Amino acid sequence: GAGVSQSPSNKVTEKGKDVELRCDPISGHTALYWYRQSLGQGLEFLIYFQGNSAPDKSGLPSDRFSAERTGGSVSTLTIQRTQQEDSAVYLCASSSFGGMEETQYFGPGTRLLVL
C-alpha cells in the first residue's frame, strides 16, 4: 500500500525494558511527526522531522524518549527504561513538506502496554 505504516501494531513490555517503534512514511514525504495518544485523550505531539533539518524535539516528555529518521524516510521512536505511564497509542504521520494547508496522513498506530 502507499499509506503510512507502523510496526509493531501491538507491543507488550515489562517496566524497565527498552522498546523501538517503527514508522514508514509515504514515499516522498519530507515531513514526519510522532504523536502519543493516551486513553480518551487527544494527540500529544512528540517530535517532528522536516527533510534534513534538525528535528523539533520540543514535545518529548523525558530524556528516555528519542527518535531518529534514517535517509529521510523510515523513523524509529525509542523509549528507554519504559514506565507504566508510557502505555499509550503511538501515532506516526507524514505530509509532503509540512506546509500550513497540508493534511497529515496517519499510520494505524502502535499500541504499547507496559506491565
Partner 1 sequence: AQKITQTQPGMFVQEKEAVTLDCTYDTSDQSYGLFWYKQPSSGEMIFLIYQGSYDEQNATEGRYSLNFQKARKSANLVISASQLGDSAMYFCAMRSPGGSYIPTFGRGTSLIVHP
Smallest gap from residue 44 Cβ to partner 1 (A): 8
Stretch that binds partner 1, among 16-24, 63-71, 79-87, 96-104 (CB under 8 A): 96-104
* Residue number, 43 or 80, with CB nearest to partner 1: 43
Helix (H, G, I), strand (E, B) or coil at 2: coil
The DSSP-derived string for 50-105 is ETTSPPB-TT--STTEEEEEGGGS-EEEEE-S--GGG-EEEEEEEESS--TTPPPE
Residues of this chain, 12-71, that bind partner 1 according to CB under 8 A: 33, 35, 41-43, 45, 48, 56, 59
- Rounded to 5°, the CA angle 10-92-37 comes to 65
Does 98 engage in binding with partner 1 (CB under 8 A)?
yes
CB of 73 to partner 1, least distance (A): 20
Q: Which is nearer to partner 1, 59 or 72 (CB)?
A: 59
The Cα-based distances of 108 to 5, 19, 49, 87, 88 in angstroms read 7, 18, 19, 16, 13
d(CA 25, CA 18): 23
Judged by CB under 8 A, the residue of 19, 93, 112, 114 near partner 1 is 93
Residues at the contact surface with partner 1, assessed by CB under 8 A = 33, 35, 41-43, 45, 48, 56, 59, 89, 91, 93, 98-101, 103-109, 111
